[in-house]
Amino acid sequence: QVRLDQWGAGVLKPSETLSLNCAVYGGSFSGYYWTWIRQPPGKGLEWIGEINHSGSTNYSPSLKSRLTISVDTSKNQFSLQLSSVTAADTAVYHCARRVDYNNSIDSWGQGTLVTVSS
Amino acid sequence: DIVMTQTPLSSPVTLGQPASISCRSSQGLVHSDGNTYLSWLQQRPGQPPRLLIYKISDRFSGVPDRFSGSGAGTDFTLEISRVEAEDVAVYYCMQGSQFPYTFGQGTRLEI
């Protein structure tokens, strides 16, 4: 059974860089796309982007200019960096696993609330 | 981006009775590989989403068989044959056929 544990700073000021990490335990690290999804408080889900074990990425066009997703296969970890944050970036950020052969998100981290406030 | 529109946004249900949620995409979801990557997720309060259905109608491991998915093209449906108390949640459809992947607004199932 795969487990995704995530961590990172929960409070940021406008213009700072959001940085989150996600460690994967159990199961294979290759053969999947490792994904970030966010959810503003009380609202729906927004796909941010993903990376596979080889470092191949897919990004949301609306965030691409501020977004970096990276992977460390030696630690089975992947990371999210979102620069120049504003209050609109306040959300619960989830790391998750996408299954390549059916394009579904089948495993999720617990989520990290990131609040952007001056 | 493909827009996913769910109806209703809120649905009062009765325990033991069926429930149905619709999801419509702004364009067809058939991928270039011939598959349609439409999935359904359940999010209970305070928890991350959980995968229920993938590729329109395939039930994920451990999901009760009272949950079923159907549809084609741009119209898809999640059905619960007999609602149980633990089904109180928000349900999302998600398309994985074209980047960026997108979700419906969510449907809140209320007893």
User: What's the pLDDT tens digit per position in A55-113?
Assistant: 999 999 999 999 999 999 999 999 999 999 999 999 999 999 999 889 999 999 999 99
The token pair at B60 is: 């994920």
The mean pLDDT of A32-43, rounded to a whole number, is: 96
Confidence check: pLDDT of A43 > 90 = yes
* Phi and psi at residue B86, to the nearest 5°: -70, -5
Residues 21-80 of A with CB under 8 A from B: 44-47, 58-62
Confidence check: pLDDT of B34 > 90 = yes
Confidence check: pLDDT of B3 > 90 = yes
Burial label, B29 (beta-carbon count in 10 A; 0-12, 13-18, 19+): buried
A101 beta partners: none
Tens of pLDDT, residue by residue over B40-97, are: 999 999 999 999 999 999 999 999 999 999 999 999 999 999 999 999 999 999 999 9
> From the list B35, B51, B99, which residue is nearest A105 (CB)?
B51
* Phi and psi at residue A51, to the nearest 5°: -150, 150
Q: What pLDDT, on a 0 to 100 scale, did the predictor assign at position B111?
A: 85
Pairing of strands A11-12, A112-116: parallel
Closest residue on chain B to A111 (Cα) = B48
Pairing of strands B75-80, B102-103: unpaired
Selected for mutation to probe chain B from A47, A63, A69 (highest B CB count within 10 Å) is A47
Q: What pLDDT, on a 0 to 100 scale, did the predictor assign at position B62?
A: 96
The answer to whether residue B50 neighbours chain A at the CB level (below 8 Å) is yes
DSSP B84-97: -GGG-EEEEEEE-S
CB pairs under 8 A between A and B: 66
Burial label, B77 (beta-carbon count in 10 A; 0-12, 13-18, 19+): middle
What's the pLDDT band for A32 if we cut at 50, 70, 90? Answer: very high
Quote the CA–CA distance of B38 and A107 in Å, as a whole number. Answer: 16
> From the list A46, A104, A111, which residue is nearest B39 (CB)?
A104
- Measured between beta carbons, the chain B residues lying within 8 angstroms of A46 are 103
Do the Cβ atoms of A111 and B48 come within 8 Å? yes
> From the list B48, B92, B105, which residue is nearest A94 (CB)?
B48
Do the Cβ atoms of B37 and A109 come within 8 Å? no
Q: Measured between alpha carbons, how far apart are the two ends of chain B, in Å?
A: 34
- Pick the closest to residue A34 from A89, A74, A72, A85 (CA basis): A72
- Measured between beta carbons, the chain A residues lying within 8 angstroms of B45 are none
Quote the CA–CA distance of B87 and B44 in Å, as a whole number. Answer: 8
Centre a 10 Å sphere on the Cβ of residue B46 and count the other Cβ atoms it contains.
7
